[in-house]
Chain A
Amino acid sequence: MTFRFRHLLGIEPLKADDIRTILDLADQYVDLSRGASKHSDVLAGLTQINMFFEASTRTQASFEIAGKRLGADVMNMSMQASSLKKGETLIDTALTLNAMHPDLLVVRHPQSGAVDLLAQKVNCAVLNAGDGRHEHPTQALLDALTIRRAKGRLHRLTVAICGDIAHSRVARSNILLLGRMENRVRLIGPATLIPAKAVEFGVEVYEDMREGLAGADVVMMLRLQKERMDGGFIPSEREYYHRFGLDAEKLAHAREDAIVMHPGPMNRGVEIDGTLADDINRSVIQEQVEMGVAVRMAAMDLLARNLRAERAAGGIHV
């Protein structure tokens, strides 16, 4: 088992084996997290900084718990209120932080590519916690782990991703990951929310949700951002719910044992029916949250191993 990467910036560079490596280790961390003592020392002595340039509760908490369970010293920085307001550039912020010798830097940023840029300027491991509309790799990995545990496999499944694909980094990372693991990926949504040339990603695109759900093993709903609702991309919330909201009737077109996923936070009654979201026989939304912690523990563990190995070899100056 080897994991070759310095950073986790996206799913794009990962091969199927890399993905399996992360998920296998994450399985072990699920057991640890469910055990009596939820603690390990694999990150002891390392400093983890969570830098969020965009509001987040769930992802930030998940990374924080993951780091703490592995014994890292974790610090949260909410960057909206901080130096950017004072005109500091992203690179200067990165250099300032770098001088504090962090080992793991978890970054979320509203602009695509910003985390890549930051990773070029620091000498620690960087984890992308979401950049613009580009990628959100740990979300795709936690989705993959949830699917693998629920379905017993992560290949030859039909996965329907529904909603605002165009603005979703979750969708991009999932399309890449599920494609790499040889699944059949369908995108369902109004044409205004499907990215240009989406079929060139090797996916099928549906504008009729019932057709798109037919025979699906996994139904992955995406959050519809409030600011997209009023006339800009879709005519109204109620028309959207009518055509693309997931309810029991539409779900009946999927396979009988299809699972329902959502990256959260949910808009009940906009993209998903509340009762369905709470149906423990169909919905794995709570499992996704649990898997999120495990996947992030695994990713940070693997990156920290590489970091330590590189430092031992004199590769990275600290």
Chain B
Amino acid sequence: MRTLFGNARLIDPEAGSDAPGWLLVEGARILATGTGEPPPAGTVIDCGGHCLAPGIVDIGVKVCEPGERHKESFGSAGAAAAAGGVTTMVTRPDTTPAIDTPEVLEFVTRRARDASPVRIKPMAALTKGREGREMVEIGFLLDAGAVAFTDGDRVIENTKVLSRAMTYARSLGALVIAHPQDPGLSHGACATSGKFASLRGLPAVSPMAERMALDRDLALVEMTGVRYHADQITTARALPALDRAKSNGRDVTAGVSIHHLTLNELDVGDYRTFFKVKPPLRAETDRVALVGAVASGLIDVISSMHTPQDEESKRLPYEAAASGAVALETLLPASLRLYHAGAIDLPRLWRALSLNPSRRLGLETGRLAPGAPADLVWFDADAPFVLDRFALRSKSKNTPFDGARMQGRVLGTWVAGARVFGKG
């Protein structure tokens, strides 16, 4: 069974190209791409000149199973992902209970297979119960399919514990993902220190807390040789440290959430808790520096940091409200803000959204090359719309983009050659 995607604008992050052409899929894989006269095929999809790109690979999605299925399930998250052009969700282990044993991981894999239309690659906790005391069974969990190990936003304070876990992980070639925030400085904080936090009277953390924790982690990386990924680098001050580690040849990569690339601390306004994320939104100068770092490739990965929260946990005074925002469906149009602002071209943007995260996790996706999995997103990069949070497919509606004017509509999503979103 062959499907031809004709009249497309092919966004190929690997080749760095953005050009008209066609793409031929056979079964679950890409057979060929080309320009000019397309080959015959059983099914033909006219892309209408719109973009066709590898599907988004999103590192750090919270699906609230097990534990809080009322906030998000594999079914609802999968539907949101498909609608948002996300073809692989790399899920977080910060569930209740934490995903820290092969048994829990198998439950997740089974639920995902039954309920999600898109691929799920689970991450496991690095320490038992994410308590920062004893490492998990990294070997068994790797065998069960864990693609990375992370305690999520909990920082392992005990350096001895972290160094041993990193050493053990290195011996198995496992990827460790950390959340660089100095725990002492950031304790109790819900804003970035500065004029705005002072005016609002919110407990705040210095942006330096991120660099301090990153410096510590990078020293441990140098010591242990582990493969390391920082989940979110959100401040300008952390960038030189990251750059140094990379130029010294360390096996280090970094991500950033779409919210830190498109919003700043002032968006919180009059205590709008949907803008409460972790780490807190930063100054505009930080945001601009981060956009530059994504464009230059210093920051490798953009992710949604999709974190569903119900109304009850958000309708509280700012300090007491839960952190996090849903973003599977807004990741693509929000990322396109950077493109429309002229900060980055589409092939570079798709490196951060698809190719780099795939490579980092050892996946075959993220490419338009012959033989690559046919995980594709077809989208109109210009189509304008106003976001209505109640139209989101996630069970939780906590998006900071409610009522925002956005550009970029997903027209269709395919996983392994099968259509999971869009008409037809």
Contact = CB atoms under 8 A, between A and B. Distances in A.
Chains A and B are bound partners: yes
Interface of A: 12, 89-91, 109, 111-114, 116-117, 131-135, 166, 169, 172, 195-198, 200-201
B230 to A, nearest CB: 24
Contacts of B320: 111
Interface string B173-212: 0000000000000000000011101111111101000000
B26 interface: no
A113 B201 CA distance: 8
B270 A113 contact: yes
B204 A112 contact: no
Interface string B318-333: 1110000000000000
Given A89-B312, A109-B317, A196-B193, A133 B201 contact: yes
Contact of B198 (A91, A113, A135, A195): A195
Given A89-B315, A90-B316, A90-B317, A113 B193 contact: no
A166 B200 CA distance: 11
Interface residues of B, number: 21
A132 B319 contact: yes
B316 A89 contact: yes
Interface in B303-344: 312, 315-320
A113 B203 CA distance: 12
B194 A169 contact: no
A91 B316 CA distance: 8
Which of A112, A195, A201 has the most chain B CB atoms inside 10 A of its CB?
A: A112
Given A196-B193, A196-B204, A172 B199 contact: yes
Contact of A112 (B195, B315, B319): B319
Contacts of B317: 90, 109, 111-114, 117, 132
Interface of B: 193-195, 197-204, 206, 270-271, 312, 315-320
Contacts, number: 67
Nearest to A175: B199
Which of A91, A111, A200 has the most chain B CB atoms inside 10 A of its CB?
A: A111
B200 to A, nearest CB: 6
A196 B197 CA distance: 8
A175 to B, nearest CB: 9
B234 to A, nearest CB: 17
A90 B271 CA distance: 15
B236 to A, nearest CB: 16
A74 to B, nearest CB: 25
A132 B317 CA distance: 10
Contacts of A169: 201
Looking at chain B's contact residues, is the secondary structure mostly helix, strand, loop, or mixed? Answer: loop
B198 A198 contact: yes
B312 A201 contact: no
A2 B169 CA distance: 69
Contacts of B199: 12, 172, 201
A113 B195 contact: no
Contacts of A200: 195
25 contacts: A12-B199, A89-B312, A90-B317, A111-B318, A111-B319, A112-B202, A112-B271, A112-B317, A112-B318, A112-B319, A113-B200, A113-B271, A131-B201, A132-B201, A132-B319, A134-B201, A172-B201, A196-B195, A196-B204, A197-B193, A197-B194, A197-B198, A201-B195, A201-B198, A201-B199
Contacts of B206: 196
Given A112-B271, A132-B319, 8 more contacts: A111-B319, A112-B200, A113-B201, A113-B202, A134-B201, A169-B201, A196-B195, A196-B204
Contacts of A172: 198-199, 201
A153 B202 CA distance: 33
Nearest to A12: B199
Contacts of B271: 112-113, 116-117
A245 B390 CA distance: 55
A83 to B, nearest CB: 15
Contacts of B198: 166, 172, 195-198, 201
A252 to B, nearest CB: 31
Contacts of A131: 201
B205 to A, nearest CB: 10
Q: Which 4 A-B pairs have the closest CB atoms?
A: A133-B201, A113-B271, A134-B201, A195-B198
Which of A113, A117, A135 has the most chain B CB atoms inside 10 A of its CB?
A: A113
A233 B414 CA distance: 57
B412 to A, nearest CB: 40
Which of B193, B198, B201, B204 has the most chain A CB atoms inside 10 A of its CB?
A: B201
Which of B271, B312, B320 has the most chain A CB atoms inside 10 A of its CB?
A: B271
Nearest to B270: A116
Contacts of B194: 196-197
A91 B193 contact: no
A172 to B, nearest CB: 6
Contacts of B197: 196
Nearest to A172: B201
A198 B206 CA distance: 14
Nearest to A118: B317
A140 B223 CA distance: 55
Nearest to B283: A197
Contacts of A114: 317
A168 to B, nearest CB: 9
Which of A134, A169, A197, A201 has the most chain B CB atoms inside 10 A of its CB?
A: A197
A200 B194 CA distance: 9
A49 B198 CA distance: 30
A306 to B, nearest CB: 20
Given A133-B201, A169-B201, A172-B201, A197 B195 contact: yes
Given A195-B198, A197-B194, A200-B195, A113 B318 contact: yes
A256 B203 CA distance: 38
Contacts of A201: 195, 198-199
Nearest to A109: B317
Nearest to B193: A196
